[in-house]
Amino acid sequence: MASRPIFDRPNLVGASRAELTALLSPLDPRGYRSGQVFHWLTRRLAASFDDMTDLPKTLRAALVNFAVVADPEVVATRRGDDGTVKVALAYPDGAVIEAVLMVMDERVTLCLSSQAGCAVGCAFCVTGALGAGRNLSGGEIFGQYRVIARSEGLVGTPVNVVFMGMGEPLLNLAAVARAIELLTETMSPRRITVSTSGIVPGLKQMTEWPRRPNLAISLNATTQEQRARLMPLAARWKLDELLQTLRAYPIERGRRITFEYVMIAGINDSMDDALRLPRLLRGLPVKLNLIPLNPDATYLPGLAAPDEARISEFAGALAAANMNVTVRWSKGRGVAAACGQLRGQLYRRAGASEVAPITLVDGA
């Protein structure tokens, strides 16, 4: 569900080529003009019509009265000692999300949010503990990329994009698909990763996409009982059904499915879990990331990461089973930007109007 309309003119950020052609034809019917505007919005990331310097001044003046170029507003920026940058971005209806910029081994990765809040309610995630908000539109998602790329001097610089911020991307799949369509104007789908808690209907829809991004699955459990405890909404689709769907998912040569496994002491870190994981994932092209829980005494009471000895033992058992496994110590913990720590709702503006809740997919 898109945000409520707040402009008396159309916002061109998020429009497709065809939509721009239709919108701008009353001003200039020549298709190449709308192509120029699309280029400025998606490749040059122009913040205003004045930036579009190869358009005639008369057309730029007409555009100002006809449409807007509107991105989310930066509410707060926090910079960590490890180079992580967390940005809180506000939309006109009062919804606020967080996006994160990370630098790892000279690779720049931008983590985007697909929803203002999250309805999945994973027990180990602050965003889920704070509850559902609303879906973002494709333009609102793409706007996060535009704003941060401009503010951090990344326009024209190769970056990786991961949909691992606030929200469950597959509960807002049409908007995520639009955002990816716009992102692939400047980057390969291989630079984009969509992470999901395992929303099976959405995964089945993605199999039909002509160009697919990388796929990451937030697994976190080796039994259905664990999954129901840790991920109550995602557990509506049984673990066996999820894995069956993934085995039918088309994976191009040289690509893998990333599985994320948040390790929580006393819940999913037993050696029995370590033995079950290889059996569960057998036959899939797998990259497994073990992520020690990022604790939060306020929103995740009673949960803690295992100690380093247990994490090392767990990872060693997986490696011995010939699994491609990495322990991923989260970046950005110093600014609450690590996995499961985003909490954009806390920035919500006083007096902002209520926003519509997230709508779940059929069967959710």
Structure tokens at 221: 């459990």
What torsion, rounded to 10 degrees, do the Cα atoms 75, 79, 80, 84 define? Answer: 90
Query: Do 224 and 238 form a contact (C-beta atoms < 8 A)?
Result: yes
98 catalytically annotated: yes
Residues 6+ positions from 340 with CB-CB distance below 8 Å: 122, 124, 125, 126, 127, 262, 293, 294, 296, 300
Query: Do 205 and 99 form a contact (C-beta atoms < 8 A)?
Result: no
122 catalytically annotated: no
Integer-rounded Cα radius of gyration of the chain: 21
Q: Which of 73, 98, 106, 118 is catalytic?
A: 98
Q: Tell me, what's the pLDDT at 256?
A: 96
Residue ranges with strand state E in 264-354 = 286-292, 325-327
Q: Tell me, what's the pLDDT at 131?
A: 72
Q: Tell me, what's the pLDDT at 330?
A: 56
Domains and CATH numbers, the chain: 17-66 (1.10.150), 73-347 (3.20.20.70)
Distance between alpha carbon 97 and the CA centroid of its chain, in Å?
11
Q: Tell me, what's the pLDDT at 361?
A: 39
Phi-psi region of 226 (alpha: psi -120 to 50; beta: other; left: phi over 0): alpha
Considering the entire predicted model, what is its pTM?
Answer: 0.89
Q: Tell me, what's the pLDDT at 297?
A: 76
Beta bridge partners of 193: 162, 214
Structure tokens at 139: 């333009």
Q: Tell me, what's the pLDDT at 105?
A: 76
Q: Tell me, what's the pLDDT at 355?
A: 39
For the chain, 364 residues long, give each residue's pLDDT as a single digit of tens.
334 456 689 999 999 999 999 999 999 988 899 999 999 999 999 999 999 999 999 999 999 999 999 999 999 898 888 888 999 999 998 888 999 999 887 799 999 999 998 888 888 887 766 777 799 999 999 999 999 999 999 999 999 999 999 999 999 999 999 999 999 999 999 999 999 999 999 999 999 999 999 999 999 999 999 999 999 888 899 999 999 999 999 999 889 999 999 999 999 999 999 999 999 999 999 999 999 998 887 778 889 999 999 999 999 999 999 999 999 875 444 444 445 444 444 444 444 444 333 333 333 3
Residue ranges with strand state E in the chain = 73-79, 85-90, 96-104, 107-111, 115-116, 134-135, 160-163, 192-196, 214-218, 257-263, 286-292, 325-327
